[in-house]
Amino acid sequence: MKAFMSSLADAVRRTGTPLIVGLDPRYDQLPAPLCGGGNANSMEHRARCYTTFCRGIIDVVGNTVPAVKPQAAFFEALGPAGMTALADVIGYAQRAGLLVVLDGKRNDIGSTAAGYADAWLGRDGKSAWGADALTVSPYLGDDSLTPFVDAAVKHSAGLFVLVKTSNPGGRTFQDLTIEGQPLYRHVAALVEAVSAEHADGEAYGPVGAVVGATYPAQLEELRDAMPHTWFLVPGFGSQGGTAADVAAAFDAEGLGAIVNSSRGIIFAHNGAAYAERFGAARWQDAVAAATADAVAQLGADTPAGKLR
């Protein structure tokens, strides 16, 4: 099986866009027609709505974007029923030809990290959840990443390690200066070294980095510092990052980064730009329009435009 980052590059070339759609379902923002009549207090009911909603989004974007990013938190919030919905959504997305980056920001030490890695990573059908890639937190250090890297190599899967996150508080620790370099650069150096070590002749190794769209200068700096590291860029759209802000995340070919949009696409029917045009009844048309607009923006204002 092809390495994840190579599959991702293929998918970006095929679709002509680096847009990844975040699946962050929230019950109170679902389109009303989709979930009427059920018991809003029942987690099983909510979980069924999440499945229907996410499948509906996948039906719209399945041929348009390379990947989706389900956010574990919102499914976990519904207990075991939510986790069953998450498993369904991952499988449905993959059957639609999409790569699935599970956003769980997991980590732990030693054999426990191996537990998470075995749980989530497995494009070969040999893990419980079978995601193509997983987001991972770095605070526990180098030996905590090893089991994830081993599992990624074994299953041809990918990782995205938090380096510079898109939230304002990302500065609290990530920007503290150590020997003339902020902490995120020290994390970046580890990620790049491990990814380069396992690149196996490909342009990008199995370990990617999460770098927020809200910090364009750092995107540019990190792109230079991490030539073997694919970026997952959150913060585009609802969090304020523009397509121009993320332009520096790409390599000269227009590869090397995927740019996430969640709320701006999946809840487009509620958004100022689309609500009047489509409304809740035509929520899938709103998703299609918001996706097309994001694809166009990224094509116009970033090197990914070369791929179209």
Q: Which residues are catalytic?
A: 105
194-201 long-range contacts (CB < 8 A, ≥24 apart) are 194/145, 194/149, 195/226, 195/228, 195/229, 196/227, 196/228, 198/149, 198/152, 198/153, 199/228, 200/3
- β-strand 231-233 against 19-23: which pairing, if any? unpaired
How many residues line the site for a second copy (CB under 8 A)?
Answer: 59
Q: Does 183 bind a second copy (CB under 8 A)?
A: yes
98-127 binders of a second copy (CB under 8 A): 103, 105-113, 115-116, 118-120
Residues 6+ apart with CB under 8 A from 268: 274, 278, 283, 286, 287, 289, 290
> Among 34, 140, 193, 275, which residue sits at the site for a second copy (rule: CB under 8 A)?
140
Taking the complex as a whole, the smallest distance from the CB of residue 285 to a second copy amounts, in Å, to 26
**Using CA atoms, how far apart are residues 248 and 255, in angstroms rounded to an integer?**
11
280-299 binders of a second copy (CB under 8 A): none
Q: Does 174 bind a second copy (CB under 8 A)?
A: yes
> Among 34, 35, 96, 190, which residue sits at the site for a second copy (rule: CB under 8 A)?
190
Q: Does 128 bind a second copy (CB under 8 A)?
A: yes
**Three-state secondary-structure class, residue 210:** strand
Nearer to a second copy, 37 or 169 (CB): 169
C-alpha pair distances (Å), 206 with each of 103, 148, 155, 182, 240: 16, 10, 11, 24, 29
Taking the complex as a whole, the smallest distance from the CB of residue 115 to a second copy amounts, in Å, to 3
Q: Following DSSP, what letter does each residue of 76-89 receive, concatenated? A: HTTHHHHHHHHHHH
> Among 38, 97, 141, 240, which residue sits at the site for a second copy (rule: CB under 8 A)?
141
Taking the complex as a whole, the smallest distance from the CB of residue 232 to a second copy amounts, in Å, to 14
Q: Does 176 bind a second copy (CB under 8 A)?
A: yes
Point out which residues bind a second copy (CB under 8 A): 24, 26, 43, 71, 73-74, 76-80, 82-84, 86-87, 103, 105-113, 115-116, 118-120, 128-129, 137-144, 162, 165-174, 176-178, 183, 186-187, 190
